[in-house]
């Protein structure tokens, strides 16, 4: 048996993904909590099966580029519709995109990154209040956001 087959067997033996995700969520500590606890191995909920990865790698082309949405002219109605369509398409096909000409000053972006860093460096007990998968909460944080819980 190859090491890939061994890894695959380990991933499928006695594996209850929903239970492991729920157990992870119950800690309300997120990935940083795992790191802070000194884990040595990546939990299975974060590992994709090797056959799934091979299939995806075989389909990928090195010419793929992250979609870029230019927000200049967003205040003009015709341009705004075009921009909204570009955002919709990038979101549906890719799940993310790069924005340019958004008008947000660098100092504001740097402040947001600093705020995010400070949040994640707080004590776990302070962050637990915000850990949820409830999308109706205006302020929340979670892990595996787009991953199905089944």
Say what the pTM is: 0.47
- Residue 70: beta bridge partners? 100
Per-residue pLDDT of 74-108, as tens digits, reads 999 999 999 999 999 999 999 999 999 999 999 99
pLDDT at 1 (0 to 100): 47
> Comparing C-alpha atoms, which of 59, 55, 48, 54 is closest to residue 144?
48
Per-residue pLDDT of 20-67, as tens digits, reads 888 888 888 888 888 888 888 888 888 877 877 777 777 765 667 889
pLDDT band at 18 (very low <50, low <70, confident <90, very high): confident
């Amino acid at each position: 048996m190859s090491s890939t087959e061994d890894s695959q067997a380990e991933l499928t033996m006695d594996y209850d993904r929903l239970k492991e995700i729920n157990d992870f969520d119950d800690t309300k500590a997120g990935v940083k909590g795992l790191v802070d606890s000194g884990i040595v191995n990546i939990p299975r909920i974060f590992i994709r099966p090797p056959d799934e990865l091979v299939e995806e790698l075989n389909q990928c082309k090195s010419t793929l580029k992250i979609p870029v949405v230019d927000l200049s002219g967003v205040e003009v109605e015709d341009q705004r519709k075009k921009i909204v369509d570009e955002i919709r398409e990038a979101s549906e096909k890719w799940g993310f995109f790069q924005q340019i000409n958004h008008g947000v000053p660098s100092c504001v972006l740097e402040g947001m990154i600093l705020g995010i860093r400070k949040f994640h460096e707080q004590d776990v007990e302070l962050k637990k209040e915000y850990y949820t998968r409830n999308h109706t909460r205006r302020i929340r944080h979670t892990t595996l956001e787009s991953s199905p819980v089944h």
